Amino acid sequence: MNSDPRKLVSESPMSTMQVVAVAVTILLNALDGFDVLSISFASPGIAAEWGIDRAALGIVLSMELIGMALGSVFIGRVADAIGRRKTMLGCLVVMAVGMFMAPTSGDLVTLSIWRVLTGLGIGGMLASINAVAAEFSNAKRKHLSVSLMSIGYPVGAVIGGTIAAQLLKTYDWRSVFYLGGTMTVICLPLVYFLIPESVHWLMRKRPANALEQINSTLKRMGHAAVAFLPTSTAAEERHTATGIFSPALIATTIVVTTAYFFHVTTFYFVLKWVPKIVVDMGFAASSAASVLVWANVGGALGGATLGILTLKYNVKHLTLAVLLLSTVTVIYFGRSPADLGRLSLICAMSGFCTNAAIVGLYAIFAHAFPTHVRASGTGFAVGMGRGGAVLAPIIAGFLFEGGFGVPLVAFCMSFGSLVAAGALVFLKMQPDDYNADAVSDEEPETASSPG
């Protein structure tokens, strides 16, 4: 049998092994969601024990985002160079070291170093698992698989945060990091035994034992072995060495990075400022936390819903729709009355739309970038987007300090999603085909009318 292995993966029903591989990526993304919330849970204990003010604590809270930005941009390139599997295992080791060493810190500088290290691993992991979810799926369910992977973030935030809250009733802030480290170590054997190297990556890179590795993976998927690997197309040979800033891909890189950056400013405005806004309305901190939980629940439902809809509808059109709805719901949140029930509902709606848009953008990353730069492209867009994550609470804070009320601040911050939609209009989407790499290479991505 001499079919292209990519065609077998793309056109065949997904095997149990492929479903399990996608499930592992969901779990790995949940680690990211837990980590973001874990430092928030640990921060009151850290501040009380060390006697530090909010300004100093804010620096620590930003360290992971800096590390994640750097990890997404630089380690994403490593995943394209040495393989998805090796990079994921390496990132898990880095994350585990950072998690277990954080509780040993005795000062802010040391803690910040371990938080940056943890962020580096998480950033690299995000770029890698987006590629894995896409490349272990068939063509029909590729967007669904990437969407499901993406909702691991809010699911991890909700479940992990709930467990952390229970731990803190008995133990100190260090227990949160020990929990995160333990979860990370558990994931190591899961990746090692359940996720082989991507067939798509092996076909592009052609290492010395590529045929043996591909046949081993095909066997686990329930396919017959191939006698030899088909010759690379002229387009594949010509463009394997090109990067995300090559003439063929620079328009795609700019458009998706711009869209992600601006939407993330809206997304993190909701994530970071909802508790403070709710408390300022006169509610208890515990009530504010419950409102944020509802935002994450809505986010998980929104991501899952968008993923299911991609089985029937165009992912770009769906993403444009939820970006516009994100703008509306965030404006509506800013005008909501001081009623806990309505606030929870509105935040759930806002979380539904804003996270659905995040999920849609991740699916677009996996589709728009060919195999040889899929992790690099995803990593760059996500890494730059972390800049938006850092800026969002700062911009909102300055607006509040300038005397603007919640309705006007929410109105201003909602425009991140609107700008993202405007940028995404210009993205040209290629046909969803097993050999889309060759299609992408032969027809450079350019700014165009909606595709």
State yes or no: pLDDT of 127 exceeds 70: yes
Residue 2 confidence class, pLDDT cut points 50, 70, 90: low
Domain covering 238-451 in this structure, CATH number: 1.20.1250.20
- The letter for the amino acid at 374 is R
Alpha-carbon torsion, ordered 266, 269, 274, 276, to 10 deg = -160
Instruction: Find the range with the poorest average confidence among 165-169, 303-307, 417-421.
Output: 165-169
Q: Which residue has the higher pLDDT, 163 or 16?
A: 16
Task: Dump pLDDT digits (tens) for 311-348.
Answer: 999 999 999 999 999 999 999 999 888 888 899 999 99
Task: Say what the pLDDT of residue 160 is.
Answer: 80
Per-domain residue ranges of the chain? 1-230, 238-451
Residue 167 confidence class, pLDDT cut points 50, 70, 90: confident
Task: Dump pLDDT digits (tens) for 37-85.
Answer: 777 778 888 888 988 876 677 777 778 888 988 999 999 999 999 999 9
Q: What is the mean pLDDT of residues 95-104?
A: 95
Task: Say what the pLDDT of residue 236 is.
Answer: 55
Q: 1-230: what fold?
A: Growth Hormone; Chain: A; (1.20.1250)
State yes or no: pLDDT of 450 exceeds 50: no
Residue 399 Cα distances to 104, 314, 338, 413, 424, angstroms: 38, 37, 21, 10, 27
Task: Say what the pLDDT of residue 275 is.
Answer: 76
Which among 380, 69, 440, 433 has a CA at the least distance from the CA of 242?
A: 440
Task: Dump pLDDT digits (tens) for 181-192.
Answer: 999 999 999 999
Task: Say what the pLDDT of residue 439 is.
Answer: 39
State yes or no: pLDDT of 427 exceeds 80: yes
Query: What is the Cα–Cα distance from 65 to 46, expressed in whole angstroms?
Result: 18
Which among 124, 162, 163, 383 has a CA at the least distance from the CA of 290?
A: 162
Q: What is the mean pLDDT of residues 100-105?
A: 94
State yes or no: pLDDT of 436 exceeds 60: no
Query: What is the Cα–Cα distance from 302 to 333, expressed in whole angstroms?
Result: 17
State yes or no: pLDDT of 218 exceeds 90: yes
> Are 295 and 351 contacting, i.e. CB atoms less than 8 angstroms apart?
yes
Task: Say what the pLDDT of residue 447 is.
Answer: 39
Instruction: Find the range with the poorest average confidence among 58-62, 228-232, 266-270, 296-300.
Output: 58-62
Q: Could you give the count of Cα atoms lying within 13 Å of 436 in the half-sphere of its Cβ?
A: 23
Task: Dump pLDDT digits (tens) for 251-288.
Answer: 999 999 999 999 999 998 887 788 778 888 888 766 77
Q: Which residue has the higher pLDDT, 62 or 214?
A: 214
Task: Say what the pLDDT of residue 392 is.
Answer: 84
Q: Give me the helices (H) in 195-242, please.
A: 199-205, 210-221, 234-239
Residue 242 confidence class, pLDDT cut points 50, 70, 90: low
SS3 416: helix
Residue 155 confidence class, pLDDT cut points 50, 70, 90: confident
pTM of the model: 0.83
Q: What is the mean pLDDT of residues 6-23?
A: 94
Task: Say what the pLDDT of residue 435 is.
Answer: 42
> Are 396 and 143 contacting, i.e. CB atoms less than 8 angstroms apart?
no
The number of angstroms, rounded, from the C-alpha of 161 to the middle of its chain's C-alpha atoms is 18
Task: Say what the pLDDT of residue 215 is.
Answer: 95
Task: Dump pLDDT digits (tens) for 369-418.
Answer: 988 899 999 999 999 988 788 788 788 888 888 889 999 999 999 999 99
Residue 44 Cα distances to 48, 104, 162, 221, angstroms: 6, 17, 16, 48
Residue 431 confidence class, pLDDT cut points 50, 70, 90: low
Residue 235 confidence class, pLDDT cut points 50, 70, 90: low
State yes or no: pLDDT of 366 exceeds 50: yes
Mean pLDDT of the chain: 87
Residue 4 confidence class, pLDDT cut points 50, 70, 90: confident
Alpha-carbon torsion, ordered 174, 177, 179, 181, to 10 deg = -140
State yes or no: pLDDT of 248 exceeds 60: yes
